[in-house]
Structure 1
């Protein structure tokens, strides 16, 4: 399923972002830090295209990418974010972590715990080499995605924040300037199946 991509240039805390929005269905893939957390933008776009989900990806077109915390990305003047959140029921927000003690762990945070469980079941075929964690107590506090202003929690039914280790979101151990980060095909396929399962179950 295709959709028309609309891009909005928006300034957030002095940093210029390009927000690429595609409206399709009531499930939406979100990548807030597409330029900073390699592979998240590409994974969000590919999975959204395969599943017919909506998609919103933020990238930084100029300069060294900076990381603005998710809850501070929810600025009222970003029309693309407002439209995205109004069009979806559940958000699947993709992030990258570099926790050296968890090099193969995918954490599933966010406020919609029923959706997190469904996605975790769909990602189970990735084990090994990856394992998934849904127990909030076992997720590092900075990766839980529970802030009420985090966009993952602003849709009608909230959403799930997936924190992906580097090896789950790019096949490039070193960043190549100008080259896209290509997520591993196994991760793309598993997340596609997980989002399809989520769409079929539609948890509230």
Structure 2
């Protein structure tokens, strides 16, 4: 296992990128400071499954959301190393769509991997609606931009968009405190990543 930390400026915003190299399945949180719970889920699921993990956080100021496809243009050695090492990416994001507060959307270019990852989510977290049909995923959450890091690894990947209730167990966020994602969601993601590893879809 190798670990690498880096501070990088993206569009005038300072980020901390934390990379842990393990297997060729990669877990990614591009907006770990803005989309609460995604960083914590990446760290936990990666540790449980032996996956590589890359988490971006913002150590200073109010978190800013920079679109994923623009993050890939940053001069970030950690991201370049992640993309060269990993064959299949699972990128965790958070959404706040008021019309879909219980929906987990699985986008990204690798549709077979999305279906494999979606099965344990549907089974183990039945309180949420797991959506893998691209036609039913809002355009802005489909994760299909070819410059999005989730699609830049050899086998592409899966963009997992989690509603607030699927990524934090606290109704109100305490600034600077780590989130506590629901146990069932962490378990389902770990099971799904394990299946992706076993089936070698990457």
Q: TM-score range by the shorter chain?
A: over 0.9
- Superposition misfits of 4+ residues, deviation over 3 angstroms: none
**Is the CA contact (8 Å cut-off) linking 2:23 and 2:51 kept in structure 1?**
yes
| 1:129-158 residue CA offsets vs partner (Å, 9 max, x unmatched) | 011101111100000000010000000000
Task: Give the corresponding residue for 1:90.
Answer: 88
CA contact (8 A) 2:169 2:181 kept: yes
Give distance in 2, aligned partners of 1:186 and 1:146. 27
SS at match of 2:100: coil
Q: Give structure 1 stretches of 5+ with no counterpart.
A: none
> Taking structure 2 as the reference length, what is the TM-score of the superposition?
0.98
Secondary structure at the aligned position of 2:123 is classed as: helix
Task: Please name the residue that 2:31 is paired with.
Answer: 33
For this pair of structures, how many residues does the alignment match? Answer: 202
| CA offsets 1:24-81 (integer angstroms, 9 cap, x no match) | 0010000000000000000001000000000000000000000000000002511000
3-state secondary structure, aligned to 1:187: helix
CA distance in 1, matches of 2:74, 2:11: 12
Equivalent pair of 2:26/2:89 in contact (CA under 8 Å): yes
Matched, 1:191 2:184: no
Residue 7 (structure 2) aligns with? 9
Partner in structure 2 of residue 112 of structure 1: 110
Partners of 2:100 and 2:124 lie apart in 1 by: 15
Q: Is the 8 A contact 1:122 1:197 kept in 2?
A: no
Q: How does 1:19-168 map to 2 (within 5 A)?
A: 19-168=17-166
Q: Say what the alpha-carbon RMSD is for the aligned residues.
A: 0.9
**Is the contact made by 1:39 and 1:170 (CA closer than 8 Å) also made in structure 2?**
yes
User: TM-score w.r.t. structure 1 length?
Assistant: 0.97
Q: For 2:178, which of 173, 177, 180 is the aligned residue? A: 180
Q: SS in structure 2 opposite 1:58?
A: strand
